[in-house]
Amino acid sequence: MPTPVAPIALPRLGALLRHAAPRVLEGMILPVAVFYAALAALGLYGALAVAVAWVYGGVVWRLVKRRGVPGTLLLAAGAVTVRAVLAGVTESSIFFFLPSCLGVFCASMGFLLTAPLRRPLAQRVASDLIPLPEHLLEHSLMRRFFMRQSVLWGCAQLVNAVLSLWLLFSLTTEAYLVVRTSAVAVLLGGVGLISVLSLRRCLRALAR
């Protein structure tokens, strides 16, 4: 009979939501709102300039506050510059949003292709968010959990990518920003909730 694993306390759902809300606001909602407002007030080129200034402003803010600048933010700054140049040269906002849609597709493949591996992508992401002991990660129940989570998130991100591409080529830029942001927030928020509840259930099963 397997030895029970000592229970690990997860934060309450409300605490998790409060922790995630500022990051969702900063990473998803505010950039879209700023771009949308600039597009309405300044046109395409003005919106592109504001989008670039927003990202570089985040870099400067962290430097002024003497905070470390994450490598992901530097990558985002480089990516948004290239996307803005492409959109400006082609005079089409499609080329500003298309790379991010393709990036979501690549992320979905990362989740799906690593699902059968010893350390699937879902496990790597979860380990960054919630410190889990190594012996717990090696348990067969946790291995199955992360395999299922990789499949779940891979499918969710695939739906995200396909939906985003369809909306990008079907709607105006203004409608795309509103509809896509709302749909993705509901989709990924629902999947995130399923993941948290599944992890709680898995940890309870391990503690029996």
Q: Quick one: pLDDT at residue 166?
A: 95
| Residues 6 or more apart whose Cβ sits within 8 Å of residue 51 | 31, 34, 35, 38, 80, 84, 96
Within the chain, residue ranges assigned H as helices are: 13-24, 30-64, 71-90, 94-114, 121-129, 134-137, 140-170, 173-207
What is the residue type of 115?
A
Q: Quick one: pLDDT at residue 92?
A: 85
Q: Quick one: pLDDT at residue 170?
A: 93
Q: Quick one: pLDDT at residue 147?
A: 93
Residue given tokens 């029996």 in the structure block: 208
Residue given tokens 């599944």 in the structure block: 198
Q: Quick one: pLDDT at residue 16?
A: 56
The candidate with the shortest Cα–Cα distance to 79, out of 111, 113, 108, 56, is: 56
Q: What does each of the 208 residues of the chain score in pLDDT, given as a tens digit?
A: 445 555 555 555 566 556 556 665 666 567 777 887 888 888 888 888 888 888 888 888 888 887 776 665 666 777 788 888 888 888 888 888 888 888 889 889 999 999 998 888 888 877 766 666 777 777 888 889 999 999 999 999 999 999 999 999 999 988 998 899 889 989 988 998 898 888 888 878 776 6
| Residues 6 or more apart whose Cβ sits within 8 Å of residue 198 | 145, 148, 149
φ, ψ (nearest 5 deg) of residue 93? -70, -15
Q: Are 195 and 152 in contact, with CB atoms under 8 Å apart? A: yes
Question: Is residue 7 exposed (0-12), middle (13-18) or buried (19+ Cβ within 10 Å)?
Answer: exposed
Q: Quick one: pLDDT at residue 7?
A: 52
Q: Quick one: pLDDT at residue 153?
A: 94
On whether the pTM is more than 0.85, the answer is no
